[in-house]
Structure 1
Amino acid sequence: MTPLVVVLNVTLCFAGFAALALSLDRHHREALAGRVPAGRVLPLRAAGWALLALSLAGAVAWEGLNFGPVQWIGALTGGALLVVLVLSYRPAWLRPAALLALPLGLAVVPAILLAFAH
């Protein structure tokens, strides 16, 4: 298990779960002080599921079919826990944290590729 792959998977899962949470009226109201617009629900849900699927694909690609899904389930748990904590204590931070998690997670991809190339 490579720590960089774990960082990538947890950040992608966090961003995915944050998008799914923001597609719900209750969480959108808490985080952004307003109802979710009807035209934004589907893109948020699609982005959330796509990020979770991308996390699974990355885990399987870098860790293989034997350990990749196991690591992915751990990343799902970690990402979901972080979203729950942010929504519980600082809901207004959810959107900025998710937008920060994406570039942070993708920033480790070159390091992962270099590590697996050697």
Structure 2
Amino acid sequence: MNKYSNLLLKVAAVFGLIGAVLGGHMAGSGSYAVRPIHAHILVVGWLTLFAWAVYYRVFQPKNRILACLHVYSAVIGAVGLTGGMALYNFRPGFLPAAVETVFYIAGGAILLLSFVFFCILTFTHGKNED
């Protein structure tokens, strides 16, 4: 499970750096146009993934398949939600609006699924994990 912890920790660190850069940009420019993206990057990407990294460092879930589904859906969902949110807000000309919206919604749905997997993991751990 250390590989899951390490993966989540590294992805959380990247999200933390991006969130800090966005925060610094907002403070320096005086524009808070990216505030929702900044908040989601820090809460979902940095805080949540970091907390889950600690969980996998402390606990050894019995269901390895569920743990794998949780970790990869968490990473994909966090990137998808925040990336989709950025695309949706900035509306780059190279993508149709429908693609931006689908990316945003799919990322959020995958992230929600990762929360469901995590909830199941926490309520189904083995006796030696208490």
User: TM-score normalised by the shorter chain: which range applies?
Assistant: 0.3 to 0.5
- TM-score, length-normalised on structure 1? 0.40
- TM-score, length-normalised on structure 2? 0.38
Query: Greater helix share, 1 or 2?
Result: 1
Highest RCO, 1 vs 2 (Cα 8 Å, sep ≥ 6): 1
